[in-house]
Chains A and B, each alone.
Chain A
């Protein structure tokens, strides 16, 4: 089970090391508008989170996930239900 802040930290790590983003990432950042993630970037982020937290994110998870905080909350809630 992971907390939202752990997921947020993981998102920051993936953004820095795998997406090579230089900007600081805030919870209220919009994944598409502020972080400007393209389809490759979204996939890298999704797979990176899956690998770290042993969850499966589906295509439908895009619904309702707009910001970094939304994503962190979503992944954290998933880790509660698995294992």
Chain B
């Protein structure tokens, strides 16, 4: 068997030394820049020259304010010109932008304050930039975190008549900090240098179609700009290309998914990227009349990533929208993570998608890839400059067809988790990044099948399982501290969902599952897909009594979660009498497997 080692094409030559230089070149290129689409489909254009000029003013104001070279500037702004002013303004001031996510409407503000304050502290931000609307909600987070220069309205900075500033940067210096997506319990600030970010956009450029007068390229995105996919994959790709980008806010898409496809048609878009669930949402919610007169035939790259690719969702999308010219070969599964700046692998353009049927039991139990009922999608080969290996627990490279940890190495891998040497050492070794994901190599391509880390990825956002487990505190009928939260992909589903395995106390009332769902939804904003009640002592534990989440998932997937047998002499005798199988089970339970 060949070792599971994949090597991307040669690293392309760097086109720009820094993001600052790339923006100045884009401004000088005369190429079309950004177009913002609002929920009612009115559009506002902002050329690259304008982006630069506005940002230079904000940079001047930041300098006047006292922001020094290399300091972090946090921003909480919706998709729009203000975001560009703050993000590029920070860069041109020689500082480091840290985009954070804005609050959710009708959502829980108290939790938002806590999380935002934590991220401000972790990133070491000296100032927070926002706008008038969102800014009103940030006072509490700013009070808690206490950034040295406080909270500022970016429009006020721009209009304060500062002298424009366009500082240059060192290619090896920190360019931006992005948080490893979403987890509120333990968000990690991923530190990326100019060189790393540009290595990523250069690799992406090599995979994009060439821009010619006959075949002009244009990107469309509704993805949030506070995550790698929207920020680096779309915005910074467009700056460095340089080329036009049409931007919608995530809320506009969620409110009316057809806006995305209509923008692609109207602008003759050739490239766009979204998580798997977005394709499923479009297939279900977009109405025929919303698509009237549209043409998706120019859409060449429909990248699908940020969560496990659902083959069902991809097929439904292709089937539904081929009527309007969508090419099934445009659908391109990709794999990546914030710690690698973004992309690690890309599937080659083709239709249909390459799928791998696997036996979920053999996969979960033995880590072996045998044909079976679950369909996984290949995420292709490493992007240029990147290598991938599948390693065993001991660190040895696995052969093809065996599940192991996915490791990646390349020029866009992060420098560190900012200010967290221990956390950095846990995932980075000799340039190799432990992705925390599980996968295998088959026929020269990577297939992702699970996760080593205890993380639940829901619609592209990472959640620590503790968020959900803690929400069960105080729910009567639940054994305190005896529940695990896990991510799983239900058969025929659109992506990963939340599973709760919960041990109960005696005397359980019939409405317990409903009360658990309600408690979790109220505390975390996530609706559990499945709540499985278990008898006390069923969940696997370490010797110190800690719950073993991945082992619990493995057993649940293989239908092997049973309450421990009460190993009394009478019971053993009874079972032995019943059947040989019962004997084997009784033995296994009397001698639990050693810890892994």
Contacts and interface: CB of A to CB of B under 8 A. Distances in A.
Interface in A1-57: 17-18, 20, 30-34, 36-48, 50-51, 57
Contact of A62 (B108, B284, B285, B521): B108
A62 B106 contact: yes
A37 B108 CA distance: 12
Nearest to A42: B106
Interface in B132-148: 133-134, 136-137
Nearest to B101: A39
B255 interface: yes
B518 A57 contact: no
Contacts of A43: 104-106, 250-251, 254-255
Interface in B36-67: 39
Interface string B411-435: 0000000000000000000000000
B106 A20 contact: no
A62 to B, nearest CB: 5
Interface residues of A, number: 32
Point out which of B106, B250, B252, B285 has the most chain A C-beta atoms below 10 A from its C-beta. Answer: B106
B554 interface: no
Contacts of A62: 105-109
Point out which of A34, A50, A59 has the most chain B C-beta atoms below 10 A from its C-beta. Answer: A59
A55 to B, nearest CB: 12
Contacts of A45: 106
A18 B519 CA distance: 24
Contact of A47 (B103, B108, B252, B459): B252
B481 interface: no
A59 to B, nearest CB: 4
Contact of A34 (B137, B284, B518): B518
B522 A33 contact: yes
A63 interface: yes
Contact of B106 (A30, A33, A61): A61
Interface in A41-83: 41-48, 50-51, 57-63, 65, 71
A61 B136 CA distance: 13
Nearest to B524: A38
Interface of A: 17-18, 20, 30-34, 36-48, 50-51, 57-63, 65, 71
* Closest A-B pairs by Cβ, 10 of them: A47-B255, A36-B521, A36-B527, A46-B105, A59-B103, A33-B518, A39-B104, A42-B106, A32-B522, A38-B525
19 contacts: A18-B285, A37-B106, A37-B521, A38-B527, A39-B104, A42-B105, A45-B106, A46-B106, A46-B251, A47-B251, A47-B254, A59-B107, A59-B137, A60-B109, A60-B136, A61-B105, A62-B105, A62-B108, A65-B106
